[in-house]
Amino acid sequence: MVFSFKAFVLSLSVVFLSCFFISSSQAAAVDAPAFSLKGDNGQISLNKYRGKVIYLDFWASWCVPCRKSFPWMNAMQNKYKAKGLVVIGVNLDDNREAAKAFLSQVPADFTIAYDPDGETPGKYQVEVMPTSYLIDRDGKLVYKHRGFKKSQSAEMEHKISSLLAN
């Protein structure tokens, strides 16, 4: 497996000490954990996007539902970019070539960051792939979603458009 399981498990241990989520889907109004990761066009820092609504998605090349989520994330980025949405996909493969192969088959019209050491998913309590978060314009975590099902995409789009309207 190209995903660094050891780093992922170590990161999760930190998570249990800092339970900042109310439930599996509704996040407490706390600051989204900061990160700065390498991307294809330089460093990707969460702080850079303050004032925007962020859809943050954790994915890996071996994740089957991730393949299904990318076209939807592309559509959301294209539809809502002018209103202030930024989609960031954080890849967790420890081998960037695996991520690049995935992206050659399933292109991304949004920002891709790489976390081969698996530090960021621990900060966000990532337990399954994909896991996504909505972060409001003030940098607060407002929603967590595990997995991807096309049948749930309308509900997620509604949450995005509601945040953008505020």
At 113-127, the pLDDT tens digits run 999 999 999 999 999
Residue 68 has pLDDT above 50, yes or no: yes
Once rounded to an integer, what is the mean pLDDT over residues 67-78?
A: 97
The per-residue pLDDT for 113 is 97
Look up the CATH number of domain 5-165.
Answer: 3.40.30.10
Sign of the torsion angle spanned by Cα atoms 67, 6, 123, 26:
positive
The per-residue pLDDT for 128 is 94
The per-residue pLDDT for 83 is 97
Q: Which residue has the higher pLDDT, 108 or 151?
A: 108
Once rounded to an integer, what is the mean pLDDT over residues 65-84?
A: 97
The per-residue pLDDT for 29 is 75
Question: Residue type for 37, please?
Answer: L
Radius of gyration for the alpha carbons in the chain, expressed in angstroms and rounded: 15
- Which residue intervals of 96-148 are DSSP H helices? 96-105, 120-123
Residue 54 pLDDT grade (very low, low, confident, very high; cuts 50, 70, 90): very high
Q: Return the SS3 of 142.
A: strand
In this predicted model, what pLDDT tens digit does every residue of 5-53 receive, in sequence order?
434 433 433 333 233 333 334 445 799 999 999 998 899 999 999 999 9
- Lookup result for tokens 């407002």: 142
The per-residue pLDDT for 18 is 30
The maximal CA–CA distance of the chain, rounded, in angstroms, is 42
The per-residue pLDDT for 118 is 93
Q: Domain locations in the chain?
A: 5-165
The per-residue pLDDT for 151 is 84
Asked if 138 and 125 count as a contact pair (C-beta separation under 8 A), the reply is: no
Residue 152 pLDDT grade (very low, low, confident, very high; cuts 50, 70, 90): confident
Residue 84 has pLDDT above 70, yes or no: yes
Q: What share of the chain is helix, strand, coil (3-state, %, to 5)?
A: 40, 25, 35
Q: Return the SS3 of 90.
A: strand
Q: Return the SS3 of 147.
A: coil
CA atoms within 13 A on the CB side of 11: 19
The whole-model pTM stands at 0.83
Question: Residue type for 29, please?
Answer: A
The per-residue pLDDT for 91 is 98
